[in-house]
Structure 1
């Protein structure tokens, strides 16, 4: 029973990570009609900015380093929107968008390698420790991930439902032409959406440092599973991203209790293929943000 509860909690925590990745996908897709195939590099970049620049080089406290990293990632997102996403969204060809975001990922990865070096490193003690509930001992990082994900989702919901810029983002996501006719600056909203998406990548990068250390390939598998979560939940649907992420996290973690752990990564992609065959629109087809 104790091991089952451990698998459930750790599965939910990893599901929260996949959920955030799927939401990042959905935000950019809804705003610009593009898929960000470089999102794993954004996540990795956020981890390096936080750990390498703000903590180890800047000697900032953890709260100050997190805030500074998220501001930096949001500003980086604006730069990427202006130079990559907005021009690509005007071309009207998916192949240009695919190649553009893939090349962007390569540029980020190579830039990080040249600036920080290729050797991985870690932050000893960061989000470390354990929590004990009766006979169940869990890593403290799992609870940090779940808590921060819940706070992030609440903030996103409040942004979309209570603020003017959030409502404008929803309008742009539903119909860019109609939003433009209503006086909404579509390009500015794409910039804001990509900035938000980039900041979310920064959050993910910080949260996975205790799990994978800081490495150039730390987010590769997470990025793919986040994409699978979006497909399973319903691509472009924010609630679907949450459902798909938690579902994959739970199923793959529970699988490790009955099967060889070496095949754990296959579970998410097998599940995605099954959904593509029987329910291609996902669990919750997109209706709105």
Structure 2
């Protein structure tokens, strides 16, 4: 029998997945460049986010939807090769379960009940909870601090706000017909907000806040995902993220669920 509490925790984390020196960003309009072209801004965003290859971090997800509010703690490892590992943590930092996605396959491990859900069964569990619209590949990109789908977009138009603090860039995916409207800090050219829609329907909104410089890359410590049609909002808070570090071999490999004997021995 499935453990609905654990499965809900595990999957909702997805919709919501020496110390490095930190550098916070302030507001400085002295370096604002005016009259930047749409294609320049789009290319800049694509090049900037391609510099983030992997992220390791503790993560707190605050999830709000109709009739439900919860806060979850996880340990995250994600890389750009479409792999992610999320360890769901209990009150005292103990691991309750693990979600691993690798090579287009997802496995969910319920440690409390020594259960494994993989393949089609794991996909069914995910679909029951989050539906099929938001693909895990997009979620991985969000956990990397990226804006999904920019590479397939065509830059349409841009303008600078009256107070010169932000650029507003409009892009179009010719194949899907989806539009992405992106708000960009005019002094740093870092993305602050993205609205993705098709027709009049808003598919989702992303916002990036509290950028800090890590390993030569600016990374947002707070990412918020809002899905108006589902009336859901997920706020992801990263705790001291490590960027572009070499990942241990086997970190995304099949997780072994301990047997009752091994639990007693430990």
Query: TM-score, normalised to structure 2's length?
Result: 0.24
Greater percentage in helix:
1
Greater percentage in strand:
2
Bigger relative contact order (CA 8 A; separation at least 6)? 1
Query: TM-score, normalised to structure 1's length?
Result: 0.22
Greater Rg by CA: 2
